[in-house]
Amino acid sequence: MDIRISLTEQLAVEANGATLDEQRFPGRQGRIVFAYLAAQKGRAVPRDELAELLWGEELRATWDKALRVLMTKLRALLEECGIDGSTALKSAFGCYKLSLPPGAWIDVDAAAEAAERAETALAAGELGEAHSQATAAATLARRTFLPGEEGLWVEERRRDLRDVLVRALECLRDAAFSAGDYTEAARHAEEVVTLEPFRETAYRHLMQVHAAAGNPAEALRVYEHCRRFLADELGAYPSPETEAAYVEILRVKRARPTEDRVPVGDVQAPPRRHRRAVVVGVAIVLAGVVTTAAFQLLRQEGAKASPLGVERNAIAALDAASGDARGVVEAPVPPTAMATGLGYVLGRERRFEHGRRT
């Protein structure tokens, strides 16, 4: 017997060519108790548990009789689809249990099972099967469990579906990455980051995808987003693993120069703006390697140049032999910090809007 039960978007039962939509169930209580039993995977549920689910603190003295009447109505409803109600909805030892024939399909269980098959196929290198199963899992997991209903058990089921969705997206990401489809891999990786913003592994995978696609600047942007998010939300820093991934991308980026990375001395100065602070970055260029020699932050509003003769809001490299400033570059906004590494100088900006710091 082919039985399909949907607990997401809209409660429904399909069997033997007949369909029972949620309007056919005996009221809200009938829908809730049927969905609850269907989501238990054959577990026998005590009557007291069902009573708490339906009435909570408003439990009345006649609840046991009301529950029996509700079960009778559900059995009769199943009979309309050719399902033996007394066999499918059993009562024994103070419990109720929904027993469905082998092969019965329930959407929330099908989503989890498809995600498991996708993970197995991916581990075996079967990329096509992994993509197919993960797509099926993601499609089901995106749906809302019992929309309009509330309660701890409803929220738990929705979290379970969300976890299935993340697993499915990770499979899609990794399958696409292994197949060399970095555009699709990045799309799925970005969704994982959105769903799991506190999971650093999600950021690292997205960085890896962008780097493999030849977009190291995008990978570094992902790292910066991760760093700022953790700092703002937790007051924490990225893990050593994330920092190591960041440094490795910087290393590769330096080994393969791109048009978006230009040495400090070659940067064209942008238009002058924002005169709120004075910054002079001093670096020593020795054998082609830039290392920090000094950092000066002047906050007085009236200062026009540093003792080195460099205008405010600028970064300069200092010739190790002559001491002259070389490659002076105006900052588009006043930096508040500076760091060097791998031959480049990076400044952290401080923005002003309408005369106030932002």
Alpha-carbon gap, residue 189 to 186, rounded angstroms: 5
Residue 197, pLDDT > 80, answer yes
Which residue bears the tokens 């891999």?
A: 185
**Where in the chain are the domains?**
3-103, 180-261, 269-357
In three-state secondary structure terms, 101 is coil
Residue 327 is predicted with a pLDDT of 57
pLDDT tens readout for residues 130-185: 999 999 999 999 999 999 998 899 999 999 999 999 999 999 999 999 999 999 99
| Mean pLDDT of the 242-269 span | 66
At residue 10, the 3 state secondary structure works out as coil
pLDDT of residue 310: 53
- 309 phi-psi bin (left φ>0, alpha ψ -120 to 50, beta other): left
Kindly give, in sequence order, each residue whose CB lies less than 8 Å from that of residue 265, ignoring residues fewer than 6 positions away: 317, 326, 327
Query: What pTM was computed for the model?
Result: 0.70
**What pLDDT, on the 0 to 100 scale, is given for residue 314?**
60
Q: Which residue has the higher pLDDT, 19 or 194?
A: 194
| pLDDT greater than 90 at residue 102 | no
Torsion region of 198: left, alpha or beta (phi above 0 gives left; psi -120 to 50 gives alpha): alpha
Read off the pLDDT of residues 258-317 as tens digits, 9 standing for 90 and up: 444 433 333 343 443 333 333 333 333 333 333 333 333 333 334 444 445 555 556 655
Residue in 37, 46, 40 with CA at minimum distance from that of residue 75: 37
SS3 337: strand
What is the Cα Rg of the chain in Å? 31
The DSSP element (H or E) to which 329 belongs, if any, is strand 325-330
Select from 3.90.25.10, 3.40.50.1260, 3.30.9.10, 1.25.40.10 the CATH code of 180-261: 1.25.40.10
Ranked by mean pLDDT, the top range of 231-245, 302-316, 342-356 is: 231-245
Q: In this predicted structure, what is the pLDDT of residue 56?
A: 84
Q: How far apart are CA 244 and CA 236, in angstroms?
A: 16
pLDDT at 328: 60
Residues 6+ apart with CB under 8 A from 165: 137, 138, 141, 142, 195
Which fold does the domain 3-103 belong to in CATH? Arc Repressor Mutant, subunit A (1.10.10)
Q: pLDDT category, 187, cuts 50, 70, 90?
A: very high
What does the pLDDT look like over 11-65, one tens digit per residue?
Answer: 999 998 888 988 999 999 999 999 999 999 889 999 999 999 988 877 778 888 9
Q: What is the mean pLDDT of residues 181-202?
A: 97
Per-residue pLDDT at 247: 93
β-pairing, 95-98 vs 45-46, is: antiparallel
Amino acid at 350: R
- Name the average pLDDT for the chain: 79
